[in-house]
Amino acid sequence: GTVIDGKIINGTLTVLAANVTIKNCVVQNYGFWGIDASAAAAIGNVTVQNCTLTASSSMDTDSAIVGSGTFIGNNISNSENGIRLQDGASVVRDNYIHDLNDNFGEPHLDGIALQGGQNHVLIEHNTVTGWDTSNILIKNDFGPINDITVKNNLLIGDPKHGDPASAVYVYGPNTTNVTVTNNYMEKPLWEYVAVSNANP
């Protein structure tokens, strides 16, 4: 039930409790994670709303937000990935994910990543500028994925680095009931929506 409102946080904010709300905050200069809610995903909902998350350029990063919950209206930049969803249901709406960057090693950039265990996810009305891999990645690396709705998003390339391979990438097996509708997509390097061994 904790609410963190209007704070400036240098480094990673780790959430280990249920029903935590983080809003109107600046999370900056973090390394691997900005907000690490991966442990909280199993015990209760996490809300991150109207926050600005900017990773450090001198540290190895993975994602601005990791976990499952409600992520609305956030401004995310300089991470390798924007939002990496964990198991269960989530709502990802009205976020601006841009200027993604991998400061160490080979880039594998995704604006919003689902990599197994997700069920009942809404990804709606986000603006994602991406390059390298995809704006939205739905790939069952770690378990089945089911009932994902991707609608009314703006998915475009990065003006400094170029375009992603695909705007939306759906990969199976055991990836089912994925709906991609009413999105505006700038032409990526390969497919607008790439589907491989899946049943969307």
Given this model, what pLDDT does residue 183 score?
Answer: 97
**Tokens 């509708």 sit at which residue?**
181
Given this model, what pLDDT does residue 65 score?
Answer: 97
Given this model, what pLDDT does residue 59 score?
Answer: 87
pLDDT per residue over 111-125, tens digit each?
Answer: 999 999 999 999 999
The pLDDT > 90 percentage for the chain reads 71
Measured CA to CA in angstroms, residue 59 lies from 15, 29, 69, 199 at distances of 21, 8, 26, 38
Q: 131 or 170: which carries more pLDDT confidence?
A: 170
Whether pTM > 0.85 for this model: the answer is yes
pLDDT per residue over 5-53, tens digit each?
Answer: 999 999 999 999 989 999 999 999 998 999 999 987 667 789 999 999 9
Distance, in Å, from the CA atom of 107 to the CA atom of 7, rounded to the nearest integer, reads 31
